[in-house]
Amino acid sequence: MNFELSDEARMLQDGLRRFLRETYDAKTRNAAAEAPQGFPRAVWDGLAEMGVIGALFTEDQGGFGGTGFDIALVFEELGRAGAVDPMLDTGVLCGGLLAELGDTEAVEGVIAGGTQLALAHGEPGARYDSSTAETAAARDGDAWRLTGRKAVVVNAAAAEAFLVTARTDAGLGLFRVEAAALDFRPYPLNGGGTAAELALDAAPATLLAEEAGAILARAEARATLAICAEALGLMEAIRGLTADYLKTRKQFGQPIGKFQVLQHRMADMLIEIEQARSAVINLAGNLDGPDRDLHVAATKNLIGEVARLVVEESIQMHGGIGMTMEYDLGHLAKRLTMVDHRFGDALHHLERFIALRAA
């Protein structure tokens, strides 16, 4: 058994952490929130140049990593920096799907950083049930046309194209729809980034797969690992900020960190974050194994519960300053809170876990 990173992994981690520390701060982030695409383009280009996107793919796919541990490593660092780039949407979700489909040219574009994509899968009212889609695909000669609605399509503002799920005779199909073919209005998200509601009215589409259920499930499992690892990084950053604050903030004549009640709560938070780390490791190590779905459910549930504790306790221990957007904690806490609203929340995965264990 070995929980140590390989030398290569450690180099990637060190480089990524240094790059983000040097390039990414509240100013960059706030400027990005105002920019039309919703993330700092220069940081994205830098990540691509470092080869960070390539770490999400295997050598066969044109990358140099692609294991669960590679994904976890990258996303923990992005989380630690509170980064708002679309690594999850363009990289793990869309890039992962294209790689499964064997579209090496498209994957190359993703790895090089020049392509921005968004997965349009969820629908209004579908909540976290990813197995259903009411959007319908109809043949139109050699081409296809899609009709339906897609909800909270993340990274919509920057995407040049959407990968869209829709019903075909064979099952749940996957299509490509050019962003230019659609009329939509992006909106900002809590915690950064953009999304949009898509109204598809016989929108022209290119077929990628007539039955994509299995590869979608796999992509979503990888994305769930990514967002859990990001949550872990966010927790680590929040823990650091909070510990520093307890040492500097004085009340009643002493640093508030001298109060035992806060020490104990900090200690409890630390224990839970270690649990979160172990859960992420469990999922990373089982991402390609037979118990993948059980680990997805267990990890996402645990991350959701610990995230809530970390967010609420850190804001409480900071007092009023933790409620403001001016201070870094606000961004990190909001981003961590929103983790529970993608790919199923703690309750959703508790039920999945119970069902899988009973099966």
Partner 1 sequence: MNLDYTDAQKTFRDEVRAFLDAKLPERLTDAGRKGRALTKDDHEEWHAILNEKGWLAGSWPEEFGGAGWDAVQRHIFEDETTARGAPRIVPFGVAMLGPVLMKFGSKAQQDHYLPRILDGTDWWCQGYSEPGAGSDLASLRTEAVRDGDHYIVNGQKTWTTLGQYANWIFCLVRTSKEGKPQKGISFLLIDMNSPGVEVRPIVLLDGTAEVNEVWFSDVRVPVENLVGEENKGWTYAKYLLTHERTNIAGVGFANAGLANLKRIARAERAGGRPLIENPHFAARVARVEIDLMAMATTNLRVVSAAAAGNAPGAESSMLKIKGTVIRQEINHLTRSAIGPYAMPFQSEAVEGDNAGAIGPDYGARASGQYFNNRKLSIYGGSNEVQRTIIAKSMLEL
Span of 58-66, 81-89, 160-168, 255-263 interacting with partner 1 by CB under 8 A: 255-263
**Binding residue count for partner 1, defined by CB under 8 A:** 46
350 binds partner 1 (CB under 8 A): yes
251 binds partner 1 (CB under 8 A): yes
Question: Cα separation of 152 and 188, whole Å?
Answer: 10
337 binds partner 1 (CB under 8 A): yes
Q: Are 91 and 56 in contact (CB under 8 A)?
A: yes
Tokens read off for 64: 């140099």
**Torsion (CA) 73, 74, 76, 78 in degrees, nearest 10:** 160
Tokens read off for 160: 């040049």
All residues at 6 or more sequence positions from 282 whose CB lies less than 8 Å from its CB, including other chains: 295, 298, 299
Neighbour tally for 58: CB within 10 Å: 14
> 137 or 332, CB closer to partner 1?
332
90 binds partner 1 (CB under 8 A): no
Residue from the set 50, 178, 334, 356 that interacts with partner 1 by CB under 8 A? 334
Neighbour tally for 114: CB within 10 Å: 12
| Site map 257..286 versus partner 1, x via CB under 8 A | --x-xx------------------------
> 221 or 332, CB closer to partner 1?
332
- The Cα angle at residue 95 between residues 92 and 99, in degrees rounded to 5: 115
Owner of token pair 């049930």? 129
Rg, C-alpha atoms of the chain: 21
Span of 17-25, 70-78, 90-98, 341-349 interacting with partner 1 by CB under 8 A: 341-349
136 binds partner 1 (CB under 8 A): no
> 150 or 292, CB closer to partner 1?
150
124 binds partner 1 (CB under 8 A): yes
Q: How many whole angstroms from its chain centre is CA 346? A: 15
Question: Cα separation of 299 and 227, whole Å?
Answer: 11
Span of 18-26, 86-94, 205-213, 248-256 interacting with partner 1 by CB under 8 A: 248-256
DSSP H or E run through 242: helix 213-248
Residue from the set 128, 243, 309, 356 that interacts with partner 1 by CB under 8 A? 128
129 binds partner 1 (CB under 8 A): yes
Residue from the set 10, 18, 127, 139 that interacts with partner 1 by CB under 8 A? 127
* Straight-line distance from the first to the last Cα atom of the chain, in angstroms, rounded to the nearest whole number: 30
> 45 or 129, CB closer to partner 1?
129
Residue from the set 219, 333, 336, 353 that interacts with partner 1 by CB under 8 A? 333
In whole angstroms, the minimum distance from the beta carbon of 210 to partner 1 comes to: 25
Span of 78-86, 198-206, 251-259, 277-285 interacting with partner 1 by CB under 8 A: 251-259
Question: Cα separation of 49 and 104, whole Å?
Answer: 19
DSSP H or E run through 97: helix 96-100
What are the CA-CA distances from residue 1 to residues 77, 258, 277, 286 (Å)? 24, 39, 17, 15
Q: What residues numbered 283-322 form the site for partner 1, per CB under 8 A?
A: 308, 312, 315-316, 319-320, 322
DSSP lists the bridge partners of residue 166 as 173
List residues near partner 1 by CB under 8 A: 122, 124-125, 127-129, 151-152, 154, 187-191, 195, 197, 250-252, 259, 261-262, 308, 312, 315-316, 319-320, 322-326, 330, 333-334, 337-338, 340-342, 345, 347-348, 350-351
